[in-house]
Amino acid sequence: MARQQKDISMSRLLSCCILIACLFAMSFCMQYSNKYTKVHAESVSTTITPFNILCICSYNYSYQTVPQHIQGLEAGLGNLSYEITYENMDTKRYYEADDIEKFHDYLAYKMDKIDASYDLIFLIDDSALRFGINYREELFGDTPIVFMGINSFSDASTSSALPDVTGIAETLDFEANYDLMQSLFPDRDEIVVLCDASNTSTGEYVEFLKFTEKHPDLNYSVLNASYYTQKGLKRALNELDEKKIIFYLDFSQDGDGNLYTIKSAAAFVNENTNHVPVIRLTMVNCTDNILGGISYSYTAAGEVAGKMAAKILNGVDADNIPLVTETITESYFYQDALDEFGISSAKLPLDSTIADEHFNLIRYYEENALILNLILLIIILLFVIIVIQAKSNRQHERMLNNDYLTQIPNRHYINQKLTQLNSTFTPYGLAMIDIDYFKHINDTYGHLMGDALLKEVGRRFAGIATKNITFARIGGDEFMMLITGSEIDNAEKICQKIRKVFEFPITIDKQKITVTLSMGCALYPSDINDPTQIMALADKALYYVKENGRNGYKLFSDL
């Protein structure tokens, strides 16, 4: 019955452990799904008319800042029901006045063709802002406008002052990057500002000049790619020495009219500089050739703009949403460049992202904490289950192999040992031991006193037991002694030692009881070649002792 209850408790414990692991796994799956599953706003309800949004981008979608802005924008709009029409000006290639006019005609034609009516206008980057503001009355009327990615602070500030216009000024964190430069490269004392004549770069350079006004002792020079031929630009970059550091603002065109993508421009800079770190102030994941920096995050800025738009579409007056001018940055670096300059990740700002980072156990745990905690919990539960099961097995084994009263080995255990020895024909000695007149003790003092006496007999046997001497209770007042190894030749001395141990009375409840033992011992193969008959010989020696006055021992070889 006790064992059945034990099995039921173990089963319940296992069930609880599995249930906890399953609940944790379900929680992980729900969080994982919430984190990575995008809810498509259009599917929220088919009865709600979606908001109609027009987004005008200065550049085409292949320009790396554009998809990052859009990704953030859509995240910021959240679960609103909306439809967005994207129009790209592509001013990196088509930026003349005639090009802008043709884009106007194209957009006006499309809007007229479908009789478009928009609930909100997004304008991304400087050229789109200027276009949108210049043609607002003609094309959009009083439709609210949200802009982002505006390098010219004056344009952003002026535009946000107009009715129903707000947005984000792209504010580069020159201060933080200057502090970073001094921390990582204290021996480099000159900043080389890399820029070009584009609207984007011009706006960034103006903000840099404002930064220098706060640092009159700042040592810097300007490398405007638009004023150099490609060959001259290569030479200028190659002449930069190890005292300089590049602040990379923007570079999309040289003086020869060659156009560069963000990635090819960064590769061009890297190929033509020798051990000069390049700090990038805008985050575009351009190439692993760039060191990185505390960079303006287009995705994060787009998300802020999307949330501003969501408020407006939900009824908040755009004039009540102020222009965002604080820096929106992420610290982003490339491992190969960090290795080139011997920079440890410990020197970088907290929460920095490192592209192609060497394996970092702490960072890996931080990025995968949920799944790793789940695995750890399962391992702990399995460990607990194994420990409990092992403990249960040990207890079961003790119950199976130990006598419940005396806690010394029982008949089952000693029979197993004998079977092992007999199967290998290993020499051993076997003694049968009875307590003399135990029935009389039971009748005189009672069964409780008899049990207490048996326990003390077992305790004294346990005090004699060694690796090669094993005692077992095989029933009632009957015990057995197994002798193996080097002790086989000492069988008689062991019997004498047992007699000596029991010369002292056993005291139970202040009652002193004198206990004597009768012992018969036989040895294999000294006494017989058949190990299955050794117990019969020991019994024969025991009966000899009993028939001759008890309180003694006899070796079968002495009969």
Residue recorded with tokens 């204290």: 186
Residues taking part in catalysis: 477
**Residues sharing a CB contact under 8 Å with residue 484, sequence separation 6 or more, in sequence order:** 421, 426, 427, 428, 429, 468, 470
- CB atoms inside a 10 Å sphere around CB 245: 22
User: What does the alpha-carbon distance between residue 546 and residue 559 come to, in Å, rounded to a whole number?
Assistant: 13
Tokens standing for 50?
């979606």
User: What does the alpha-carbon distance between residue 524 and residue 82 come to, in Å, rounded to a whole number?
Assistant: 96
497 within 8 A of 464, measured Cβ to Cβ: yes
Angle value at C-alpha 541, between 535 and 545, nearest 5 degrees: 140
User: What does the alpha-carbon distance between residue 279 and residue 193 come to, in Å, rounded to a whole number?
Assistant: 10
518 within 8 A of 542, measured Cβ to Cβ: yes
**Strands 478-483 vs 428-435: parallel, antiparallel or unpaired:** antiparallel
b/e per residue, 58-72, with b = 16+ CB within 10 A?
bbeeebbbbebbbeb
**Residues sharing a CB contact under 8 Å with residue 515, sequence separation 6 or more, in sequence order:** 435, 436, 441, 453, 457, 502, 505, 506
User: What does the alpha-carbon distance between residue 295 and residue 172 come to, in Å, rounded to a whole number?
Assistant: 7
User: What does the alpha-carbon distance between residue 318 and residue 315 come to, in Å, rounded to a whole number?
Assistant: 9
**Phi, psi values for residue 185, rounded to 5°:** -135, 70
